[in-house]
């Protein structure tokens, strides 16, 4: 494991820009009485699975679980300048992530979150309140991802203490399993792995599968962490494990790119974030392409991959582009690439949509009604809140019940092996 690495530590602190927590933004008043009526009658019989949401790690998640020797070493909450942050010792490990839903159900626009956990919606952390919010939105189950960067591999590698870093990952995954049980199998948090330690990674992957966690989060380009690329056999045992268990791997946005380099100098925070958020999503086209040209999917024909919080509208263009490049650039790889891009997509990939209207209305049949899932990104900035049920009906109302059920429930239950 790497020694203390200032670049990795800085990356952890920048996981959410500090400017996103400064005073400002605009509060959108939400008429919650009209937005909390549950499932629309037109969707009766469908258990909606929201395939991209975020659970804020509880401030005592690690301190309450740490063995005695790590009690003073694990991440804990510290308020700095009015903003709640994660600290390890005296080192700043960044914010608690995004929550723009206020505890009174109104929504903050133009910022990443409220400065303190207590100002935000308690459902970001607490299971009971989360389930109530889901019932109000008409959502039955949620696929949950981390909210802070404190459990990211880059953060943990910078600690310079392998045993501590692996233990933090295990505490996070234990909390995920507990939440899944406490929610009555409605909240399914994706597992993290100690990617930098091959033996520990394989052991933790097996432990998570045995705990019935439903999927894993991986980095787009592990090379940025100083790890071998996915072409290397370093990854083969865990990919085989995922394949055998039917456990999907998830690429949540494309965290390997830095869209900040694409924005104009002189922009205010809100202007920059508007462009950056879009480019992170579209960046998953690179993830899609990398796996298609790699030959890995021919070695792992049952591997399942979720492209999460990245939308669906770009998918036909990206695959058509890959089809063209297979003809123009890849004839020499015909022995290792036994399928075409559309075949790879239909055999291995699922995508999600939330704010889009054109995609679900016009491209669903092209992409495949069994390859698209629904999400809200609750409670993040740009989340589909309020108006979840209205948006579903606007985008899927023109389809029959079977298609609606595929997009809203069946596709997710197949990808994540959900128990309903």
Pick out the chain residues at pLDDT < 70. 1-16
Helix axes 284-294, 315-329, angle to 10 degrees: 40
pLDDT of residue 1: 47
pLDDT of residue 2: 42
pLDDT of residue 17: 77
CB 373, CB 414: distance < 8 Å? no
In Å, what is the CA distance from 264 to each residue of 16, 112, 276?
19, 20, 11
pLDDT of residue 3: 42
* Fold observed for domain 26-416: TIM Barrel (3.20.20)
Instruction: Give the pLDDT confidence of 315-370 residue by residue, as tens digits.
Output: 999 999 999 999 999 999 888 899 999 999 999 999 999 999 999 999 999 999 99
- What is the pTM (predicted TM-score) of this model? 0.95
């Amino acid at each position: 494991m790497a020694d203390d690495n200032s670049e990795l530590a800085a990356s952890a602190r920048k996981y959410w820009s500090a400017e996103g927590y400064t005073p400002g933004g605009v509060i959108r008043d939400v008429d919650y009485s009209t937005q909390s009526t549950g499932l629309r009658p037109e969707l009766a019989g469908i258990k909606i699975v929201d395939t991209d949401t975020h659970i804020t790690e509880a401030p005592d998640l690690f301190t309450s679980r740490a063995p005695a020797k790590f009690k003073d070493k694990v991440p804990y909450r510290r308020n700095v300048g009015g903003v709640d942050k994660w600290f390890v010792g005296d080192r700043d490990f960044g914010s608690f992530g995004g929550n723009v839903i206020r505890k009174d159900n109104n929504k903050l626009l133009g910022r990443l979150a409220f400065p303190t956990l207590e100002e935000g919606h308690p459902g970001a952390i607490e299971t009971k309140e989360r389930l109530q919010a889901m019932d109000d939105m008409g959502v039955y189950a949620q696929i949950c991802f981390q909210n802070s960067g404190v459990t990211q591999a880059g953060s943990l590698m910078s600690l310079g203490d392998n045993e501590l870093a692996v233990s933090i990952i295990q505490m996070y995954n234990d909390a995920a399993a507990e939440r899944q049980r406490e929610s009555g199998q409605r909240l399914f948090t994706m597992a993290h792995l100690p990617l930098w330690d091959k033996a520990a990674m394989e052991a933790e992957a097996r432990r998570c599968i045995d705990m019935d966690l439903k999927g894993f989060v991986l980095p787009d380009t592990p090379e940025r962490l100083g790890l071998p690329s996915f072409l290397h056999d370093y990854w083969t045992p865990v990919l085989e494990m995922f394949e055998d268990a039917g456990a999907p791997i998830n690429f949540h946005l494309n965290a390997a790119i830095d869209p900040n380099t694409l924005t104009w100098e002189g922009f205010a925070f809100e202007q920059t974030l508007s462009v950056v958020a879009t480019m992170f999503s579209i960046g998953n086209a690179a993830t899609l392409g990398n796996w298609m040209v790699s030959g890995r999917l021919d070695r792992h024909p049952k591997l399942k991959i979720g492209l999460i919080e990245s939308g669906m509208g770009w998918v036909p263009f990206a695959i058509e582009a890959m089809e063209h490049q297979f003809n123009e650039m890849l004839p020499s790889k015909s022995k290792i690439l036994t399928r075409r891009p559309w075949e790879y997509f239909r055999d291995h990939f699922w995508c999600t949509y939330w704010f889009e209207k054109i995609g679900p209305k016009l491209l669903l049949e092209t992409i495949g009604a069994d390859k698209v899932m629904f999400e809200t990104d609750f409670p993040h900035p740009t989340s589909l809140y309020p108006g979840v049920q209205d948006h579903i009906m606007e985008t899927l109302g023109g389809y029959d019940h079977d298609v609606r059920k595929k997009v809203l429930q069946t596709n997710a239950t197949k990808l994540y092996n959900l128990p309903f």
